[in-house]
Structure 1
């Protein structure tokens, strides 16, 4: 069975669409025949992605919005639905990383991390979820991180924000279940994106990520490979699909075993 058949022509909203994972999700859903509304704060980065999708026969549109701005989110969701029809699929990917010790992390870094990673998920999911509930259909996937359940040194704000987004999405899934709306989480580990590469100090970064670090209590990756954005996009697409029709409030780890199955 072609799982894209039941979703062809439907509208999907993807936040953080210009990033590595977000762009992979946009490409994947567009290739399955969905009309994709890709949002990001970086309008310039969205332009070549939308052009690529269209050249490959897909349908995608760009929207510039800061997910930390509740009013802007509401306006964008309204604009998308007026332009392309009901949003039946939402993928929360937008995220930022601010590293630093829990004792030295600034108020600004903490607030900025939560503004996007947690508040952004709340704003977008609330705006879209209300509409899905009224129509009694839809699926939401929030992309978090395995750092939401496994402590990582220098990542207190990031891990805490992703943990909050995870529990919010599960609670939302419980509340929306009566309306037939499913809410799930995809939790990647180290994925070959600009965010991960920004944490590497030198050319040994990839190997160090695979090996882990005893001094920072970090397990490496048992599968001995970094995830690619497409690996995460495949998991997202599955949870949006009819094959996952009886799955909700689930937390799917895509980390090569780095969290040791939690």
Structure 2
């Protein structure tokens, strides 16, 4: 099988697909031959993907915090696109603030998207995949789930919860042949990353590290491109990873020193 066709005939659902890592995941899966249902609360980005890949990408406007909408997303994919083989949760938000300044609404919204949204898609996918005894579920987490970050308590906690949820789901589904894994990016060139940068020197400080925020640098000396994360997802959903489940793959250039 050629490198560009190892997912040929498979159907994937990707949330948060309108931009950044989610968009890159859609492109990577299509590049390997999959047909993708690209879902996002903002329809503009997924509509552009559908236009770019006619017949290969289907755009859906979905709020991952709405359980019924996510259930319908998966059911519709089964009805109209074919058997669902791959589900990737990428949708996420970041509301940075010190804990003492963190509002209840920002805390709740962060968990609603980053954790409950993962639960909604994973549960819906598990119900159809488990009955067939095949499939792959991937959660895009964050290296912040494993290493504390100043001003990012809600984000880090929500991602840590999503990681452990995915591992528990993987344990439950392993006997029926459904694999569940996590890809945990570090700093990646996305709009979410850029919102943290307040001056021109910020990107270099991410690479060098910042002792004032107790943050190590990136040993590989570069900030990730969304495609770096997408390639890891594409590997984990492929048959090359057929004996990998409940794994948390850090794609952060060594930034956490794998603490």
Aligned with 1:217 (options 205, 208, 214): 214
Secondary structure at the counterpart of residue 200 of structure 2: coil
Partner Cα separation in structure 2 for residue 136 and residue 234 of structure 1 = 25
Give matches, 1:1-262, under 5 Å: 1-2=1-2, 5-54=5-54, 59-262=56-259
**How many angstroms does 1:212 deviate by?**
1.3
For residues 181-204 of structure 1, give each alpha carbon's deviation from its aligned partner in whole angstroms, at most 9, with x where no partner exists: 000000000000010011100111
Secondary structure in 1 matching 2:235: helix
1:5 CA drift (Å): 4.0
- 45-54 vs 247-256, greater mean Cα deviation: 45-54
Matched residues in 1 for 2:205 and 2:107: separation?
27
1:2 CA drift (Å): 3.0
For 1:4 and 1:203, locate their aligned partners in 2 and report how far apart those are by CA, in whole Å: 38
Instruction: State the alpha-carbon separation in 2 of the partners of residues 16 and 145 from structure 1.
Output: 15
Distance 1:193 1:86 in 2: 31
Distance in 2, Cα, partners of 1:208 & 1:61: 39
Q: How many residues align?
A: 259
Q: Structure 1 runs of 4+ off > 2 angstroms? A: 1-7
User: How many angstroms apart in 1 are the aligned matches of 2:247 and 2:131?
Assistant: 23
- Cα displacement (A) at 1:77: 1.2
Q: What secondary structure does 1:61 align onto? A: strand
**Unpaired segments ≥5 residues, structure 2:** none
Any idea what SS the aligned residue of 1:166 has?
helix
How far does the alpha carbon of each residue in 1:88-138 deviate from its partner, in whole angstroms, 9 at most, with x for none?
001110000000011210000000000000000001100111100001000
TM score, norm. by length of structure 2: 0.98
**Is the 2:6–2:32 contact (alpha carbons within 8 Å) kept by the matching residues of 1?**
no
Instruction: For residue 52 of structure 1, report the CA deviation from its aligned partner.
Output: 1.8
Shift of 1:3: 5.1
1:168-226 C-alpha deviation (Å, 9 max, x unpaired): 00000000001100000000000000100111001112111111110110001111100
Is the 1:4–1:241 Cα contact (8 Å) retained in structure 2?
A: no
Distance 2:6 2:20 in 1: 26
Please provide the CA RMSD for this pair.
Answer: 1.1
The answer as to whether partners of 1:3 and 1:241 remain within 8 angstroms in 2 is no
For the residue of structure 2 that corresponds to 1:225, the secondary structure is coil
For the 8 Å contact 2:40–2:62, the answer to whether it is kept is yes
**Aligned partners of 1:44, 1:139: CA distance in 2, in Å?**
27
- Bigger drift between 202-211 and 179-188 goes to 202-211
Q: 5+ unaligned residues in a row in structure 1: which ranges?
A: none
